[in-house]
Amino acid sequence: MLSRKEEIERSIITRFRKEIWRPFTKAVREYQLIQEGDKIAVCISGGKDSMLLAKCIEELQKHGKVKFDVCYIVMNPGYRPEIYEQVLNNAKILGIDIQVFSSNIFDVVDKQNSSPCYLCARMRRGFLYARAQELGCNKIALGHHFDDVIETILLSIFYGGEYKSMPPKLWSINFDGMELIRPLYLIREDAIIRWAKYNQLDFINCACKFTNSSHIDSKRLEMKNLIHQFEKKNPHVAANIFKSSENVNIETILGIKKDGKKISFLDNYDR
């Protein structure tokens, strides 16, 4: 009889093979996210996405052809004791050998009146890069999924006045030689939710007081609901938003940004 940990692992490559395992391996392969000899810091927040990411990376390391090293790091930004205990307990259930370190991010963000989520994300990224570098890693892996990508595209259009996506990998600007990868890039969030429910796993959501406040208007949640509304009429909407970032027709664009410089279509219009 399989243990609970083994059943959870098996569900990824059997019951959820089409929804999770195949798009995971496709993203790793097509975007060349993992190479021979890599040492990857899998960053675990304690939520469903990063926990699934850890298990998928673990399975790939066990059964894949490419040899690489992994460490699983958890940053405690100031979780309440019960939240922190839940993160540790889920890691134990899943059999993930985590390394925990602490930061004061929640204390710092608590003093900010504007853009707390943006500041929190920036600070988290910096702490994770620094810790991964200390451990001798050349990459950090984050749990952003397909829905994060398309929501980011819409957010940039509606609220940023620009067209910007979330790439599957990118080099760090502040940490030389460090690369960020997103192996869950092609996995829908609904599939992750179904995987968690199927295995009776209860993960944390963001434990920050700002996102739990009724006074905070979540623009990302707004985009999520908007996409769901459109999908009721056209099931291809999400896929088409994603594809739009692969099919940008430069000849019809009024301007682009390259290396921080804005280039108008008029600059080359008469050539």
How much is the pTM? 0.92
**For 210-219, b where at least 16 C-beta lie within 10 A, e where not — what string?**
beeeeeeeee
pLDDT digits (tens, 9 = 90+) for 70-82: 999 999 888 889 9
What three-state secondary structure class fits 14?
coil
Average pLDDT over residues 73-92: 93
The pLDDT score that the predictor gives to residue 112 is 65
Average pLDDT over residues 196-223: 75
User: What average pLDDT score do residues 235-250 get?
Assistant: 96
Single-letter code of the amino acid located at 125: R
Mean pLDDT over residues 30-44, rounded? 97
Q: For 96-142, what is each residue's pLDDT tens digit? A: 999 999 887 876 776 666 666 777 777 888 889 999 999 999 999 99
Q: What's the rounded mean pLDDT across residues 237-263?
A: 94
Span 29-52, average pLDDT: 97
CATH code, 136: 3.40.50.620
Residues 265, 171, 33, 197, CA torsion sign:
negative
Total domains, the chain = 1
Please say if the pLDDT value at position 90 is more than 80: yes
Q: Could you tell me if 93 and 65 are in contact, meaning their C-beta atoms sit under 8 angstroms apart?
A: no
| 271 compared with 81, residue with greater pLDDT | 81
* Residue 132 belongs to some domain of the structure: yes
**270 lies in some domain:** no
Q: What is the mean pLDDT of the chain?
A: 91
Q: Quick check: is 136 in a domain?
A: yes
pLDDT at 216 over 50: no
Q: Does an H or E element contain 41, and which?
A: strand 39-44
Q: Give the range of the structural domain holding residue 189, as residue numbers without chain letter.
A: 4-216
The pLDDT assigned to 153 comes to 97
In a domain, 235, yes or no: no
pLDDT at 217: 52
Residue 159 within any structural domain of the chain: yes
Do 184 and 49 form a contact (C-beta atoms < 8 A)? yes
From residue 133, how far is each of 41, 46, 100, 128 by CA, in Å?
A: 9, 21, 15, 8
Beta bridge partners of 118: none
Would you state the pLDDT for residue 213? Answer: 45
Q: What percent of the chain has pLDDT over 70?
A: 92
Q: What is the pLDDT of residue 123?
A: 82
Q: Is residue 54 a part of any domain in this protein? A: yes
Looking at residue 271, what is its pLDDT? 66
Residue 246 counted as domain residue: no
Asked if the structure places residue 133 within a domain, the reply is yes
pLDDT of residue 78: 84
